[in-house]
Amino acid sequence: MFIVQHYALAVFFCFITMLCWGSWANTQKLAAKKWRFELFYWDYVWGLVILSLLAAFTLGSSGSEGRPFMADLVQASPQSLGSAFAGGVVFNLANILLTAAIAGAGMAVAFPIGIGLALVIGVVLNYVLLSKGNPTLLFAGVTLVTVAILLNAQAYRQKAQVQQRMGIAKWIVIAVIAGILMSCFYPFVAAGMDLENFVHPADGKMTPYTAFVLFAAGVLTSNILFNSILMKRPLDGPALSYKTYFGGKLRWHAVGVLGGAIWAVGNLLNLLAAGKAGPAISYGLGQGATLVAALWGVWVWKEFKDANRQTNYLLTGMFVCFILGIFLIIKAGT
């Protein structure tokens, strides 16, 4: 089983996580003109599940260190299995709301508000779970990220006022709810693993690979309920049917699967990094995806192209605060 042995590699993996978690939504943006987010999300979940199984039967089952996937799965306690599964359920509800906010307000808004809030709450929760890292630097970084979230929300409000758009509060509220829920999923997954020893995990605890598979099972199972409800009672637009989904073109389905796989790669690397960096730091750096997504939204998708000078100042302040906050979170673990 492949295991991270050095802090520098753990930080590198967290940066890859940041890129993956901040970039998967580009696939949703690509599909948005032809494919509603509810339909996209079914394929996203399949991409996540497939990647988790591939990782478990390859990297999670080869080498001489740690328990291979099947042996680890068999010995896992019901509490560990249930905890990782519950983490998938919580994540899925959060992520489907985040995807809705991306569709309604754009990446440059949904991510900084939703995932930025998840970073703030999640770092605190994960630090309580395992107090690893310098608390002063860690919470100074969290404070700066909080300021960045507030600047972004204000920038979006001003942009919407300039364009005379309605429904500003709706998408901000949805992003906030998504962020609160997103902050809660990681401790469930971490609780199912032995974060102190991936090589010889305690009896009943799981390796990151096994925990990820149970997490993915929770996502898939809960999506049958959550996404079915959203299709019948959508947040925006007319109701959808399963016939529409199965009638979609192959390339539209492929884009969704790719999006889920991209997110899943980031999640796997983040779980592997947690054993060396600690859950608070690995989660906090991974959620630096807010910065990556905001960059995509502002510079590639031009979501603020009609913004005035004051709004651009707010966006600049947001980026500066995010960068400084992430830097302090990294320093907290060195």
pLDDT band at 164 (very low <50, low <70, confident <90, very high): very low
Which pLDDT score is estimated for 167? 60
pLDDT band at 160 (very low <50, low <70, confident <90, very high): low
Inform me whether the pLDDT recorded for 214 exceeds 70: yes
Which pLDDT score is estimated for 134? 87
**Mean of the per-residue pLDDT values of the chain:** 89
Question: 246-255 long-range CB contacts below 8 Å, 24 or more apart?
Answer: 248/35, 248/39, 249/34, 252/31, 252/34, 252/35, 252/39, 252/40, 252/43, 253/43, 254/43, 255/27, 255/30, 255/31, 255/35, 255/40, 255/43
Which pLDDT score is estimated for 161? 64
How much is the pTM? 0.87
Residue 193, SS3 per DSSP = strand
Inform me whether the pLDDT recorded for 73 exceeds 50: yes
Residues 13-28 pLDDT 10s: 998 999 999 999 999 9
Average pLDDT over residues 38-56: 98
d(Cα 107, Cα 283) in Å, to the nearest integer?
Answer: 20
Residues 3-12 pLDDT 10s: 898 888 998 9
In 3D, which of 291, 326, 314, 284 has the Cα closest to residue 127?
284
Average pLDDT over residues 312-324: 92
